Structure 1
Amino acid sequence: MSNGEASPLLPAKKGKEADRGSDDPIESTPLLSSSSETPGYDGENAEPERDDVSIRSRQSQPPSQHDTKKKGRRWPSFIAMGILGCVAIAIIILAFIVPDAVQEYAQQAAVIEPTSLSIDSITTNGVRARVQANFQLDGSRVKNDHVRRIGKASTWVANQLGSEKAEIDVYVPDYGNILLGSAIIPPLVVSLRDGITTQFDFIADIRPGNVEGMRMIANDWLDGRLDKLRLNGKTNLNLKSGFIPLGTHAVSETMIFEANKIPAMPKYNITRFNVKDGPLNGSMLADISLSAFNEYPIQLDIPELAFEIMVSGCANTDPLIIVAEASTGDIHVEPLSDVSASIYGVIHDLPDSLTRACPDSSSSPLDMFLKQYMHGEPGTLFVRGSSRPDGDTPKWIADILASVTIPVPFPGRTLDGLIRDFSLTDVHFTLPDPFADPNDPAASPKVSGNILVTASLPSDMNFAINVTNVRATADVIYKTKKMGELNLRKWQHANSTRVEGEGSDGPSLKIESRIIDAPLNITDSDVFADVVQALLFGNKPIQLGVQALVDVKVETSLGELVLKEVPAEGKIPIKPLPHGAIGTVDPKISSLRVVDSSLHSITLQALVNVTNPTPYTAFVPYANVHIVTNDTVLGDGTIKNVDIRAGNNTNILVTATWSPAKDGPRGRKIGRDLISQYLSGFNTSITVKPHLDTIPGQRLLCEALSRFNVTFTVPRLRLPGDLPGEDSHFIRDASFHVLSSTATFTLVSPLQFNTLYLDFVNATALYNHTEPVGRILYGLPFAAPPGKSQTPRLPVEWSIDSVGYDAVRRAVGGQLKLDAHAIVDARLGNWKESLWYKGEGIGASIHLT
């Protein structure tokens, strides 16, 4: 008999009832499932793909109408097919003297239907398999009438044919003709009459062949490089027909299996996954249950087996990294039913190659695997038979399992929604440093505060875990719009507490961390302006959303692990300022000093006390604002390195430049009137308005801040001799001398370190607010030093005919309340200005001389 190719025995199409009058082959049942119907750990149902299998001998012809209604059975295994196909066909072909016609008849008429394959026992050399099958000759499958008549006549005469015990060797020609395995077949007898079915039920001893060859075939199959598999079975058959011996005949039969006809790796579902601390320090235990559907009529008991679980290294060429050792319990496989397997894994100390960062990367192989898992992407584990199998495992099984590495998809589990609550308290803001490099974190606003996070723990994580450090990049959202980015590039210390859930709630982990100076980059000035407006004028808490990718350092019994890019989402409630809070700022000036001056400008430094009515604190490296009155910029104020605390803040150094002349004559007049009103004791106010250079280099932040301004009452200066609650006046009291027609005034300067000069005075004293007393015109300059001072005797031109003058004469030797209206030319350093003054209720002492 020549070595030929047979038709594929495992068709890819799903089987229907075979039509004996068609060219379709008879169906049989596959032995290995390609899918599962059991609901899985990942919540999906895998629908099996059932490949129908036809079995026929080489050069088979289409069947006749004889078997139209006979339903095909599924193929139990390649082993049963190889054993029965080689033996039965060879018995028929070699039994007769008319070789050509009988050989063609046997090849086309033989119908083999394996019905069951079960493993009777596992031996030290192989397995004892129980094979059950049906065999018959169906002459209707033979197209050639001449061949059909000769074949039927010859087989009717022979009636039946038997073989002695035989050993069949199966080789793989395309892989160096390696020995795949051997099977010892007991004596068999088949009926040769057309349409008579012979039922086989025998035990075959099957021994594995070349382990290295099996490994090559398995790897090519797993890698998708196996487009077809050609097997060649060889045996020597000792035949007889009844009592007539027919001699020993060498038989060789070749079969080809197309790639899409070879059973695929069965799909499985993870129905339980539980990880807990191991009994020994530095270990964890994994308890996993798998379920798959066995689509084939095969039954066997799989003993306990040991495996190594591995992950990829940094590169595809790197050796796989062993992360765990696993073993299975006894697995009982029933035909056409679900198969459940329990796997117990032990994870010991993680090797350095698993946690060490890869070259030119900040991620380790463990980081890359966990990233896939946490983002819901399936990772890949590699399973290989253990190099240290259990002592009860037969060596041939251990050798085969250890020679093949199988990639196993591990379903990812998205951690979206892991973070349940996210809050930020004791918030402290730091404004940007204007002198920092644009790429320096100091060039962005920074936020500090206490973070409190409540994270849900998966119910299958039953091991101790402690969060020690966190870092993150987060988008800050307001009303679905991104306001900015919060960047925690540096690790922040954290601690965590496990809290057991109540009722149906699972366990949770409370994580606390103090973040310090996390850069906040404003990306949308309009959104930031909306937030500021809601803070200043709103009456409801503001909800800022946070969408973050968090890196977490955790301590486990395996050591310290880093979970990278854990998705987190939460809300940060921010309370608006209390109603009327701006008015409670209540700035007060405690000290005033002139540090520079020019003809039309003057630079002052003041120590200011303010009240912060908010629960938030801030550090201001530099900020400059405009001082505005009547929509006119009169100057600007600057603060540097100021730490604003909650409540009272004292002695804040403010540098202010007064330069209203920059806005022309109108600006100078407005500035002159403001100073005059202030010195006269009027209630005056100024508006503090940010501008586009309030914080240099922060264009977007300044654009948002420039839309808001705050108006304050100009704080009164505490003058020497002022009593609590008393209004301060630049002119404290006066003395009038009637006979000498002179007057002196007590002046109290608001400047503690500088002397003010009055170059010209034009003043009028009034009695009862309207009646003139006298007029003073004085053109010689005199000084008003810090604190109290006396003016020189100023000449008075009395209003002789006025009621006011009569009141002065009547008050000689006593006191009189007078008003004063004056225009003075003041000089402070190089700065000069003409000011007016109106004072009421000035206590005047009236002297005769």
Structure 2
Amino acid sequence: MASNTDPTRREEDDDTATATEQTPLLPPSTDAEAHTSHPPDGSARTSLLTSLQTPTSTSKGKKRRWPSILALATLCIVIICIIVFAFLAPSITESYAQQAAVFTPLELSIDSFTSSGVKARIKGHFSMDASRVEKKSVRDLGRFFTYIASQAETGESDVEVSLPEYGNLVLGTARVPPVWVSIRNGDTTLVDVVADLRAGDVGGIRNVAEDFVKGRLGQVRVVGKADVPVKSGVISLGRQRVVKEMLFAGKDVPKLPAYHIGKLDVHDIDLPEGGTGMMANVSISANNSYPIDFTLPSLGFDILVPGCAEDNSLIKLGDAETQETHILPHEEVMLNVTGLVHSLSPNLTKNCPTQNSDDKAMSPLDRMVARYLHGSNNTLYVQGSPSQPNPNTPSWLTDLISDIMVPVPLPGKAVQGHLIRNFSLTDTHFALPDPFAEPGTKAGNPRISANVKALVALPEEMKFELNVSRVRADADIYYHGKKLGTLDLHKWQAATSSRVPANGDGKKGEKKEELLLIESAVKDAPVDITDDDVFTDVLQDLLFGGKDVRMQIRALVDVEVGSAIGEFVVKGVKGEGSVVVKPISPSPGSGGNGGVGVPREFRPKVFGLQILDTSPTSLTLGARVNISNPTNYSASVPFMDIHILANETVIGHATAKGIEIVPGRNDNLYVEAVWDPSTLGGEEGKKVGREFLSQYISGYNTSLTLKAHEGSIPGNPGLGRVLGRFGVEMPTPSLGGAPRKTLPGEPDDGDGDGDGDGKKKKGPHFLDDATFHLLTSTATFTLLSPLRQTILYVESINATAFYKGDSVGHIDYDLPFAVPPVGPGGEGVVSPRLPVDWSLGSVGYEAVKGALGGRLKLAAYAEVGVRIGEWREGVWFRGGGIGASVRI
């Protein structure tokens, strides 16, 4: 019964009885639940787990198995560590390291240049900053792993730097030695290593550099790659692939440092190969804002300047060489550059094509010099030269800079104030245009000739010799800021130049400056008056102002220069200066009738009067004139005609031909004049002319006004119109036809005619003396003709003599008689006896009788008809103080 009712027990007994080598070390649980959860044929692993689930104490009081539990726990830890450090840790630590690693460079110095690159020393701080890691799990595990590891060491590795946007262009590689750092979060390690840097694709680097220089590098992505062996303590973590990418954009893109040209000296030099050249020493300063320390070797460059704008060409100007320069971190860099110009390229001095006929042809050198002297920037282009001054310069560095071109702005040197410090004209000569010149052409303009002296201020850096051989210019003339006209100097004028020692002592802010004296003889330069109103102002100030008249000259000057590098023409150089014209001061109390007073020494002395031709209304006269020119200027007058006015009415005109006026005394100038009041002034002119002649021969103080008119200068009517706005008023000159000896004590006027005009004469000059004959009731008169070669005829006389206001007698005579020229001794001619109708019983007649055998002074009033050739005129005569002799 027992066997049938408990089969399980029986089976257990059987199993116990039959234990073999396959029997588990730990017996199976007798718990029913545990028994049913595992198949009867479970493996060793299942038996092991089952045994672990057995309670620590059983109802049977079995002993715990501690060694087995400890061995299993150790195995699990080892397995977990293998999984974490072999599979999970490298991935996490790599991600953590790339985000948390921070390197702050302190100094980058180049120990030396090698044949393939440079040997650079890199110093900086390395630290781990967990806050830079974005993913929390990576950040936490990374901090945990690096805390456990504490330190890490990299083995020797190669770092490659490339630019993906340039086809993965390799900028270079660096051989980095082993580095030990602390990798715990927040710890800082000073890293100081020396690495070999090798240049990559030099041609590709030149392309990148060109984009950088031209500002086309808007952004750049830099990728660094390296396979770095890493270990921590004795545990090797194998070779880790490190890829670091940096994006530079906007303000992060490095820029060329700002620089300043502090000093520029240009001087002549003797070339080693013979001949002369020009050397420039330039000092350039720039701020080094990077922690870079290295010594830059001496390098050679080509200096290029822009050619003509049409072809965008560049022309080599010279060579440049930099001195060896030590560059310190975050300090100003002083770079000394020496430039050398052997000679000028023909393309540099050849005129560029012009867009139209109005453009002035200029060469590239002309434009560069003109911009420099006027303060504008020029752009020079600096390109590395394949031939270097230092033979130790690595070839890779020469190849790198040989095709890199950097534009360098060269600031202009505007001279303070005017470029021309002083501008003067000496031996100035004015010439009126030829009478046959076509109006409106250059031939119709007045011309000026003079010796021009100009002191030109040179920039202090120009210490080379300049020899000016020729000059030409287009000059504008201004007066009080308004344009008067132009001075045409487009023809080349020979010139000389010489250096003037620097003035100023440099004290109290006074700056020394070099001056160049340029002298040139200008010949027949046309002057075009473009503003009549401004010219009127000039004349008004000359005639009325009584002080110097200063006119400004603004010119574009072309200068032909000889220098150590050859001869060339500099065009379009702006120059300013002034010309001072001495005034013609008016004489005191003169002026009137629209005329301007003329200084006494300027007044003409007329003599040698001749009648050249006559008509019923006109006289054509020729005369010699002595005149004194008080100015320092001379003038040529090929032809000029001026109006002669009396009482603002034209009564004649005078013509001068082929006259040369020099400063000082001018003698025997020949002029011709036409007296024709009725034709030139109409009926009013006829009346004014008769009145003027009557006053003149009566000894009145008369004056004439000389005025230019539109026809004064046929080739330039406008100039005549402007000159016609001013009349030159002068006392009527003595005709010089009746000279008399200067009396004792009477000053001579210096005109050589001996008439003593320096003292006012008493009585009329034409009527010199009278004699009355009582018995025959006649009178004779001594007449002094104003004419030297022509006979004057008196055709009628209707005259009355007075003594103290009372009538003496009357003469009415209509038979013509001749008045020939005066004799060699100045004696006059005696008229025929003219019948006298006495005023019997008058006080005057009684006075004449009382003076029988003696003399008395009488007054006279007469109407006289005169004739010269075909010309006839009736004039009146009033005279007082006439000496008269009384005979029987």
The answer, yes or no, to whether TM exceeds 0.5 is: yes
Aligned AA for 2:143? K
Gaps of 5+ in 1: 1-92
Question: Cα offset for 1:147?
Answer: 2.4
User: Contact 1:798–1:805 (CA<8 Å) still a contact in 2?
Assistant: no
Task: Output the CA distance in 1 between the equivalents of 2:766 and 2:660.
Answer: 33
| TM-score, length of structure 2 as denominator length | 0.75
Provide the residue aligned with 1:49 in structure 2: none
CA deviation map 1:505-534 (0-9, x unaligned): 344333333334444444555554444344
User: Which residue, 855, 865, 878 being the options, matches 1:825?
Assistant: 865
Provide the residue aligned with 2:12 in structure 1: none
Provide the secondary structure at the position in 1 that maps to 2:282: strand
- Mapped pair 1:629 → 2:646: yes
In structure 2, relative to structure 1, the CA distance for the partners of 1:440 and 1:96 (3 Å cut) is farther
Question: Cα offset for 1:554?
Answer: 3.5
- Mapped pair 1:291 → 2:291: no
**Aligned ranges 1:192-341 → 2 under 5 Å:** 192-240=183-231, 242-243=233-234, 253-280=244-271, 281-315=275-309, 317-341=311-335
Q: Percent identity?
A: 43
Task: Output the CA distance in 1 between the equivalents of 2:101 and 2:527.
Answer: 81
**Aligned ranges 1:316-395 → 2 under 5 Å:** 317-360=311-354, 362-390=361-389, 391-395=391-395
CA deviation map 1:526-561 (0-9, x unaligned): 554444344334454444444555444433322334
- Mapped pair 1:775 → 2:811: yes
- Mapped pair 1:655 → 2:662: no
User: Contact 1:629–1:686 (CA<8 Å) still a contact in 2?
Assistant: yes
Aligned AA for 1:396? W
**Aligned ranges 1:294-693 → 2 under 5 Å:** 294-315=288-309, 317-360=311-354, 362-390=361-389, 391-417=391-417, 418-432=419-433, 436-437=437-438, 440-479=441-480, 482-492=483-493, 493-501=495-503, 503-504=505-506, 505-577=512-584, 580=587, 582-595=599-612, 597-661=614-678, 662-691=680-709
Question: Cα offset for 1:747?
Answer: 6.1
User: Which residue, 164, 171, 179 being the options, matches 1:180?
Assistant: 171
Task: Output the CA distance in 2 between the equivalents of 1:552 and 1:495.
Answer: 11
User: Contact 1:773–1:808 (CA<8 Å) still a contact in 2?
Assistant: no
Provide the residue aligned with 2:96 in structure 1: 105
Question: Cα offset for 1:226?
Answer: 1.9
Gaps of 5+ in 2: 1-83, 355-359, 507-511, 588-597, 742-753
Question: Cα offset for 1:203?
Answer: 1.5
Deviates more, 1:234-243 or 1:555-564: 234-243
Task: Output the CA distance in 2 between the equivalents of 1:317 and 1:839.
Answer: 90
Task: Output the CA distance in 2 between the equivalents of 1:288 and 1:622.
Answer: 61
Deviates more, 1:793-802 or 1:536-545: 793-802
Deviates more, 1:343-352 or 1:145-154: 145-154
Task: Output the CA distance in 2 between the equivalents of 1:520 and 1:602.
Answer: 36
Task: Output the CA distance in 1 between the equivalents of 2:122 and 2:200.
Answer: 20
Aligned AA for 1:127? V
Task: Output the CA distance in 2 between the equivalents of 1:818 and 1:464.
Answer: 84
In structure 2, relative to structure 1, the CA distance for the partners of 1:286 and 1:491 (3 Å cut) is same
Provide the residue aligned with 2:748 in structure 1: none
Aligned AA for 1:708? F
Task: Output the CA distance in 2 between the equivalents of 1:834 and 1:612.
Answer: 37
User: Contact 1:677–1:837 (CA<8 Å) still a contact in 2?
Assistant: yes
In structure 2, relative to structure 1, the CA distance for the partners of 1:115 and 1:219 (3 Å cut) is same
Task: Output the CA distance in 1 between the equivalents of 2:249 and 2:438.
Answer: 66
Task: Output the CA distance in 1 between the equivalents of 2:695 and 2:139.
Answer: 130
In structure 2, relative to structure 1, the CA distance for the partners of 1:253 and 1:337 (3 Å cut) is closer
Task: Output the CA distance in 2 between the equivalents of 1:448 and 1:478.
Answer: 20
Q: How many aligned residue pairs are there?
A: 755
In structure 2, relative to structure 1, the CA distance for the partners of 1:697 and 1:103 (3 Å cut) is farther
Provide the secondary structure at the position in 2 that maps to 1:399: helix
Say what the alpha-carbon RMSD is for the aligned residues. 4.0
Aligned AA for 2:866? A
Provide the secondary structure at the position in 2 that maps to 1:322: strand
Deviates more, 1:787-796 or 1:225-234: 787-796
User: Contact 1:232–1:254 (CA<8 Å) still a contact in 2?
Assistant: yes
Greater relative contact order, per chain length (Cα 8 Å cut-off, separation 6+): 1
Provide the residue aligned with 2:141 in structure 1: 150
Aligned AA for 1:413? K
Provide the secondary structure at the position in 1 that maps to 2:276: coil
Provide the secondary structure at the position in 1 that maps to 2:652: strand
User: Contact 2:798–2:864 (CA<8 Å) still a contact in 1?
Assistant: yes
User: Contact 2:797–2:811 (CA<8 Å) still a contact in 1?
Assistant: no
Task: Output the CA distance in 2 between the equivalents of 1:817 and 1:139.
Answer: 138
User: Contact 2:808–2:848 (CA<8 Å) still a contact in 1?
Assistant: no
Provide the residue aligned with 2:120 in structure 1: 129
User: Contact 1:286–1:346 (CA<8 Å) still a contact in 2?
Assistant: yes
Question: Cα offset for 1:104?
Answer: 3.8
Aligned AA for 2:565? L
Question: Cα offset for 1:266?
Answer: 0.9
In structure 2, relative to structure 1, the CA distance for the partners of 1:96 and 1:130 (3 Å cut) is farther
Task: Output the CA distance in 2 between the equivalents of 1:211 and 1:316.
Answer: 33
Aligned AA for 2:500? R
User: Contact 2:302–2:382 (CA<8 Å) still a contact in 1?
Assistant: yes
User: Contact 2:484–2:535 (CA<8 Å) still a contact in 1?
Assistant: yes
Question: Cα offset for 1:304?
Answer: 1.3
Question: Cα offset for 1:333?
Answer: 0.9
Provide the secondary structure at the position in 2 that maps to 1:668: helix
User: Contact 1:355–1:366 (CA<8 Å) still a contact in 2?
Assistant: yes
Provide the secondary structure at the position in 2 that maps to 1:325: strand
User: Contact 2:428–2:448 (CA<8 Å) still a contact in 1?
Assistant: yes
Provide the secondary structure at the position in 2 that maps to 1:353: helix
Task: Output the CA distance in 2 between the equivalents of 1:238 and 1:317.
Answer: 57
In structure 2, relative to structure 1, the CA distance for the partners of 1:698 and 1:260 (3 Å cut) is farther
Aligned AA for 2:307? G
Question: Cα offset for 1:193?
Answer: 3.3
User: Contact 1:466–1:497 (CA<8 Å) still a contact in 2?
Assistant: no
User: Contact 2:499–2:514 (CA<8 Å) still a contact in 1?
Assistant: no
Provide the secondary structure at the position in 1 that maps to 2:539: helix
Question: Cα offset for 1:677?
Answer: 3.0
User: Contact 2:609–2:736 (CA<8 Å) still a contact in 1?
Assistant: no
User: Contact 2:653–2:675 (CA<8 Å) still a contact in 1?
Assistant: yes
Larger radius of gyration between Structure 1 and Structure 2: 2
Deviates more, 1:404-413 or 1:252-261: 252-261
Task: Output the CA distance in 2 between the equivalents of 1:544 and 1:808.
Answer: 68
In structure 2, relative to structure 1, the CA distance for the partners of 1:664 and 1:95 (3 Å cut) is farther
User: Contact 2:607–2:734 (CA<8 Å) still a contact in 1?
Assistant: no
Task: Output the CA distance in 1 between the equivalents of 2:839 and 2:278.
Answer: 109
User: Contact 1:597–1:831 (CA<8 Å) still a contact in 2?
Assistant: yes
Provide the residue aligned with 2:62 in structure 1: none
